[in-house]
Amino acid sequence: MKSINPILSGEILLILDRMGHGDELVVADRNFPAHSLGIPVVAARGAGAADVIAAVLSVFPLDDHIATPLERMGAADGSDTLNSAHEAVLHSARDAGYPETQYGVIPRYDFYTRAATAFAVITTTEVAPYCDFIITKGVV
């Protein structure tokens, strides 16, 4: 297809299309226990978190009715330090038309609980630690 980011496989596009506004999508690093959640999982092989989120946001609006439609997993030690991969994801969101985007931070173990209620998980090959995100779909 023309003008569709090649990271967005048919399987990923189907999941994004089936989501409604307010549904949540997890974009997870390579260490995230995605398959244990019991929700659909699709792989974006060879792509890091920032590239996957940029691709998703090329077809998927963030929910503008909530304070933090882009959330990330907090580090186990409770620090809020952003690593370079976190920064890259934030830049992807801002470049996609959300210049004021800031992260909501979900403590690590709360993130697992919340992720289990998401619509689906896209796994990436991201190697940076704690590079797991929840994005909320807005109205198309």
Task: Say whether pTM exceeds 0.85.
Answer: yes
The one-letter code for the residue type at 55 is A
Question: pLDDT tens digits for 9-43?
Answer: 999 999 999 999 999 999 999 999 999 999 999 99
Sequence letter at residue 88: A
Q: pLDDT tens for residues 88-120?
A: 999 999 999 999 999 999 999 999 999 999 999
Counting every residue written for the chain, the total comes to 140
Task: Determine whether 65 is an active site residue.
Answer: no
Name the packing angle between helices 49-57 and 84-95 (round to 10°).
10
**Structure token digits, residue 93:** 């969101």
